[in-house]
């Protein structure tokens, strides 16, 4: 068994930890690297608040069991027809009740 390999890993880990700790202390003390820019000017970050235009929200209230047929009606008349045909024995919906007339 090589005991020197274990000691070398421990020394390497300790060295990396010491370097990381000293770098953290240096940054906390205010020592900045050369490529960082420091300025004494005040930085003001502001954004004008824009009033949202008044919007009109239309809320349609319908029973939850009609969610599928309403979604199919929003996709178009063919999707509505297929949905009503697939669920005819469950819900007994009528096409004319949900189709959008133009």
Q: For residues 27-56, b (16+ Cβ closer than 10 Å) or e, as one string?
A: eeeeeeeeeeeeeeeeeeeeeeeeeeeeee
Please check the confidence at residue 86 and state whether its pLDDT lies above 70. Answer: yes
DSSP state of 35: T
77 located within any domain: yes
38 located within any domain: no
51 located within any domain: no
Please check the confidence at residue 1 and state whether its pLDDT lies above 70. Answer: no
28 located within any domain: yes
Output the pLDDT for position 81.
95
Q: Which range, of 54-58, 71-75, 86-90, 96-100, averages the lowest pLDDT?
A: 54-58
24 located within any domain: yes
What's the structural domain count of the chain?
2
Chain centroid, CA 8 distance in Å:
45
Range of the domain at 84: 64-98
55 located within any domain: no
- Using one digit for the tens of pLDDT, what is the confidence trace for 20-74? 878 777 777 765 555 556 667 777 777 767 777 788 887 778 899 999 999 999 9
């Amino acid at each position: 068994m090589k005991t020197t390999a274990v000691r070398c890993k421990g020394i390497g880990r300790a060295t990396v930890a010491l370097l990381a700790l000293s770098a953290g202390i240096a940054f906390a003390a205010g020592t900045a690297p050369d490529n960082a820019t420091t300025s004494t000017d005040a930085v003001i970050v502001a954004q004008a608040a824009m009033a949202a235009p008044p919007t009109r929200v239309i809320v349609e209230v319908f029973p939850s069991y009609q969610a599928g047929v309403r979604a199919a009606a929003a996709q178009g008349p063919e999707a509505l027809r297929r949905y009503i045909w697939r669920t005819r024995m469950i819900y007994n919906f009528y096409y004319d009740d949900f189709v959008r007339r133009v």
